[in-house]
Structure 1
Amino acid sequence: MITIDRKNNCCLFVPLKIGVNIILLIVFAVGLFEVTLYVRYLTYKSYRSSIEFVYIAYPTIVIYGLITIVAVFGLYVMTCADTLKMLTIYSKIFYGITGFNVLNSTVIIVETIALVVECAEYSYLCGRNQLKIIIPVHITSIILSLYFAMIISIYVRVRKDKYIQPVYF
């Protein structure tokens, strides 16, 4: 029987440290994309005049800006300050990002389902089918964010195991 040990691999063949760096670059790109998207929306006069959008846009810009800063901090920790203490701190911060992403995606899925139910009653108001795109994208986002958090915590665990050597008697 062949045993395959993938303890040091991220995604089948990618080494764990490179996989964590790729994950952090993806989180950085998504955060930067969301910030620029909402800033761009705020420049349009039609969106700026909507009070509902302004109440959503500013907190979203701040939160995704913080996620972008945390991703840059994670890249710094991975490349320059690769110590166990910094990695542990970053993994705990990344759990917060994962929790926010899961909560945000769940709220968007619930809002989409409520909108679809409302559109079923008033079909002349809605011309698009949101279920085909929004729900699968956010379910995938939840799964990926949980997977990314697992990979980062595995990397911290591997580093902790290397740092703390067991004592043999």
Structure 2
Amino acid sequence: QVRAVLAARGFTAEPPAGSGAVRDRWESLAALVRLAEEFERTRTAAGQGADLAAYVAELDARAAAQHAPAVEGVTLASLHAAKGLEWDAVFLVGLTEGTLPIIYAKTDEQVEEERRLLYVGVTRARKHLTLSWSLSRSPGGRAGRKPSRFLDGLRPGSAAPGARTGA
């Protein structure tokens, strides 16, 4: 039933060639189909009906709880969009000065807002958290980048601002 409804909206079993908005839309619709298949397997195994109305109710419940549909794959999200969501594993990448905090954050309030965004990202991880940064923009490039000041005290070998060292 889900495939039939989505077919009326232009969904096909085969992905479109290339990338871009058309491919992104197809991926989203394919995720709904995979989720419906998993929903049907789970409900059938539990001896419950798996009709379209029950599936829509499940999607409504997930939306109300602000949980993204759980299908195998990777979710790419900005720190802004991650608020209220959680994942088993979170990878925060590009944590360099000029990126976080962004170079345009000039006032103390703006810098603190950037710090809060990092906190949002860090607290999205249920089990595994990976923080990363690069020393250069490209392989073999000039190593002029510095890790974000927000990582002080979080990464091995770094001390938090004002932290005392052993005497």
Q: What is the TM-score normalised by the length of structure 2?
A: 0.28
Question: Which has more helix, going by share of residues?
Answer: 1
Question: Which has more strand, going by share of residues?
Answer: 2
